[in-house]
Amino acid sequence: MSRASLDKDPHAVASMFDGVARRYDLTNTVLSLGRDRSWRRATRKALELQPGEKVLDLAAGTAVSTVELAKSGAWCVAADFSVGMLAAGAGRPVPKVAGDATKLPFGDGVFDAVTISFGLRNVVDHTAGLREMARVTRPGGRLVVCEFSTPTVPVFATAYKEYLMRALPAVARAVSSNPEAYVYLAESIRAWPDQAALAEQIGDSGWSEVSWRNLTGGIVALHSARKPR
């Protein structure tokens, strides 16, 4: 599978994640230097979940993001189109559904909140994914997107770019079950819209009150929005 084909073919993306599933959680923690846990906690807090609310964690992978959300007492379902990733998280006690972000197997307005962590960048048509997330959210419901973004301090941005292009693939070769996938990761982060551009795309895809907050100097951004009433 060539990396370029990942841009166009959802099946290639799904099988790439099937290929990294076994060691996904470990690789994530190593590559993020352990920051992933605090990014997941920040996502849960930004969602302001109430016990009993229904929450969709889209592109949930091994459900590592979903179990963090479930600590709120909300009912959280993990959805992903990589059956390999869902299977690698089989031991995590949350409901799991196989489904494509652009054709979700849920009715209109059934969720109080939807969220997607480190997944939107991988959805081949990510604005279609944002529109589909709006469809399954009730009027007034919330969206939080947790995604890699653009560091805000220029000197830090340069060091980070070096890390992405040199160190990250090297570390991935040591720990991942599919190192090539992490070259794709580095390239996809560099190609992703910055904070303001993503906010505009979210606003154009069925969401209102769009705002964002940077985490770890903008390595990650949390975008929040509301479905219009």
Ligand X SMILES: C[S@@+](CC[C@H](N)C(=O)[O-])C[C@H]1O[C@@H](n2cnc3c(N)ncnc32)[C@H](O)[C@@H]1O
CB under 8 Å to 67, separation ≥6 — which residues? 92, 93, 94
- Positions 46 through 65 that interact with ligand X (CB under 6 A): 59-61, 64-65
| Residue 81 is a binding residue for ligand X (CB under 6 A) | yes
Question: Pick from 19, 89, 119, 206: which binds ligand X (CB under 6 A)?
Answer: 119
CB under 8 Å to 178, separation ≥6 — which residues? 16, 19, 20
Q: Which is nearer to ligand X, 26 or 153 (CB)?
A: 26
| Residue 102 is a binding residue for ligand X (CB under 6 A) | yes
Looking at 112-120, 134-142, 171-179, 194-202, which segment touches ligand X (CB under 6 A)? 112-120
Residue nearest to ligand X (CB): 61
CB under 8 Å to 50, separation ≥6 — which residues? 72, 73, 74, 112
Which residue in the block uniquely carries the two structure tokens 């997607």? 116
Q: Are 206 and 143 in contact (CB under 8 A)?
A: no
Beta carbon of residue 161, minimum distance to ligand X (angstroms, whole number): 20
CB under 8 Å to 71, separation ≥6 — which residues? 44
Q: Which residues bind ligand X (CB under 6 A)?
A: 10, 13-14, 17, 28, 59-61, 64-65, 80-82, 85, 100-102, 117-119, 122-123
